[in-house]
């Protein structure tokens, strides 16, 4: 059984892997998920969030076009 710190570290490693592995669509949505979690702490959230959402939508468009 793993403790809370180990569980948090595992989740962070999974997010890191999602950001650096796989398709562009997976990376974009992983970044979006991170930004949503930081919304309460990040004063630049709206600008960065908008850019990531735009990237996600462009990736979706490309994936749907295949």
Task: Look at residues 2, 48, 55 and name the one whose alpha carbon lies nearest to residue 27.
Answer: 55
Q: Please tell me whether residue 55 adopts helix, strand or coil conformation.
A: helix
* pLDDT of 1: 77
Who contacts 60 (Cβ-Cβ below 8 Å, separation ≥6)? 25
pLDDT means over runs of 10, the chain (66 residues):
87 81 73 71 69 81 76
Domain ranges of the chain: 4-64
* pLDDT of 13: 86
* pLDDT of 21: 67
Rounded to whole angstroms, the Cα distance separating 29 from 19 reads 9
* pLDDT of 64: 76
Residue that has been written with the tokens 């930004």 in this structure: 35
* pLDDT of 43: 64
Contact in structure between 28 and 51 (CB atoms under 8 Å) = no
């Amino acid at each position: 059984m793993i403790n809370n710190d180990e569980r948090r570290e595992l989740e962070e490693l999974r997010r890191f892997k999602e950001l650096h592995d796989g398709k562009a669509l997976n990376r974009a949505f992983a970044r979006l998920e991170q930004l949503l979690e930081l919304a309460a702490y990040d004063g630049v959230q709206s600008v960065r969030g908008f850019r990531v959402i735009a990237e996600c939508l462009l990736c979706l468009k490309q994936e749907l076009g295949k």
